[in-house]
Amino acid sequence: MSFLFNFQTRLREYNLVKEELTNSSINIKFIVFLSLATLLASLGLLTDNTPVLVGSMLIAPLMSVTVALGVGISLFNKKLITTSFFSLFIGSVISIMVSTFLVVLLPQHINSVNIAERFVPNVPTFLVAVISGLTAGLILIWKKEIQIVAGASIATTLIPPLAATGIAISTLNTEVAIYTIYMYILNLIGVVIGAIISFYFSVPTKNQ
């Protein structure tokens, strides 16, 4: 029975890694949805439209990739860690480029300082990211409804700071760009930590 239980646990981990490798790989869908999410986030920041910002976080694929990184670290899977980290890096660069390009095309003055005021890195903000990563990890383990995943994505700000970074770069505001990218990295770390915690403390049972 012990052998069977260990086999089931290994099989569960294998299927999870296989699923997360698919979710964290860069493909045309990833690029399209990321670009659309960035455009929405940029326009939401420029027009000070909160519902548009929420919409951008709903369709952005970065949350699943970030959780995949946490899964890879939890299971010590080098391939998953490498794939998800690479996708995060490329995705971040694409998002910043899309935002920068959009603002360059707009014939209006952009106040990147006011936009940066939306992002204030502090302990509560970091805890939101950790709890969101924890929630997303548990959803992945327990296979809950997709609506809850969307809620976790909304709670954590990933795309808006990248969009704000692109806006700051387009206005040559280095200080604001560094500030917003710091906020993005802080949120990423929070989500990864939350995902790691969810997998570290999840004890497989024979019913799973």
Q: Where are the domains of the chain?
A: 2-200
Q: Quick one: tokens of 94? A: 């694409």
What is the C-alpha separation between 166 and 95, in angstroms, rounded? Answer: 8
pLDDT reading at 125 higher than 80: no
> What pLDDT does residue 94 have?
94
The region, left, alpha or beta by phi > 0 then psi within -120 to 50, assigned to residue 143 is left
Closest CA to 87 of 66, 59, 56, 60: 66
Would the CA dihedral through 33, 35, 40, 44 be positive or negative? positive
pLDDT of residue 22: 67
Q: Residues 186-208: pLDDT tens digits?
A: 889 988 898 888 877 664 443 44
Percent of the chain, pLDDT > 70?
67
The H or E element spanning position 176 is helix 174-200
pTM, full prediction: 0.76
Neighbours of 15 (CB within 10 A): 10
When pLDDT is averaged across residues 85-108 and rounded to a whole number, the result is 88
pLDDT at 32 over 80: yes
> Class assignment of domain 2-200?
mainly alpha
Angle formed at CA 25 by CA 23 and CA 31, multiple of 5 degrees:
100
**Helix, strand counts (H, E) of the chain:** 10, 0
With beta carbons less than 8 A apart as the criterion, state whether 137 and 194 touch. Answer: yes
